[in-house]
């Protein structure tokens, strides 16, 4: 992490990219265990944590919210999803179609975040040239 207000958005995007990467690994693990008896799917909680950290004040700009973030407290936390639920006889609750769609959506999100990071660095380069 870079400690300057000029990098606030980059730091948030960096944490988001890390969370997306971890989620990709967790979703891939779900797919690998689709036939493992009693396996319970896992997912990663990050978006809700980021929303909570940003707060819901209507009276602050997004710039103010992002600069006030305690970035080191944002963590991608894996959790077991629907741990008491299974529609299958073997106790597994992984649905391969849902996992594949969720994995594809996560990969698109990751690509978007990486594009955002490149854009932020491009903006900084343009500002330094200016």
Question: In this predicted structure, what is the pLDDT of residue 38?
Answer: 93
pLDDT tens sequence across 52-109: 888 877 788 888 888 888 888 889 999 998 778 888 899 999 999 999 999 999 999 9
Question: In this predicted structure, what is the pLDDT of residue 72?
Answer: 86
C-alpha–C-alpha distance, residues 117 and 11, integer Å: 9
Do 99 and 41 meet the contact criterion of CB atoms below 8 Å apart?
yes
Question: In this predicted structure, what is the pLDDT of residue 83?
Answer: 77
C-alpha–C-alpha distance, residues 8 and 68, integer Å: 9
Question: In this predicted structure, what is the pLDDT of residue 3?
Answer: 54
Question: In this predicted structure, what is the pLDDT of residue 34?
Answer: 96
Question: In this predicted structure, what is the pLDDT of residue 81?
Answer: 85
Q: How many Cα atoms occupy the beta-carbon half-sphere of 25 within 13 Å?
A: 9
pLDDT tens sequence across 22-31: 999 999 999 9
- Burial (CB < 10 A; 0-12, 13-18, 19+), residue 108, is exposed
pLDDT tens sequence across 25-50: 999 999 999 999 999 999 999 998 89
pLDDT tens sequence across 1-10: 455 577 888 9
Question: In this predicted structure, what is the pLDDT of residue 53?
Answer: 87
Question: In this predicted structure, what is the pLDDT of residue 4?
Answer: 56
């Amino acid at each position: 992490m870079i400690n300057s207000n000029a990098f606030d958005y980059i730091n948030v995007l960096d944490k988001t990219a890390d969370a997306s990467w971890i989620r990709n690994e967790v979703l891939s693990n779900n797919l690998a265990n689709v036939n493992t008896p009693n396996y319970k799917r896992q997912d990663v909680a990050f978006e809700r944590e980021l929303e909570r950290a940003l707060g819901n004040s209507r009276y602050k700009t997004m710039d103010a919210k992002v600069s006030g973030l305690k970035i080191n407290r944002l963590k991608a936390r894996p959790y077991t999803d629907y741990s008491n639920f299974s529609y299958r006889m073997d106790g597994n609750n992984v649905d391969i179609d849902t996992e594949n769609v969720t994995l594809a959506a996560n990969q698109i999100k990751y690509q978007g975040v990486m594009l955002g990071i490149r854009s932020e660095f491009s903006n900084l380069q343009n500002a330094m040239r200016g």
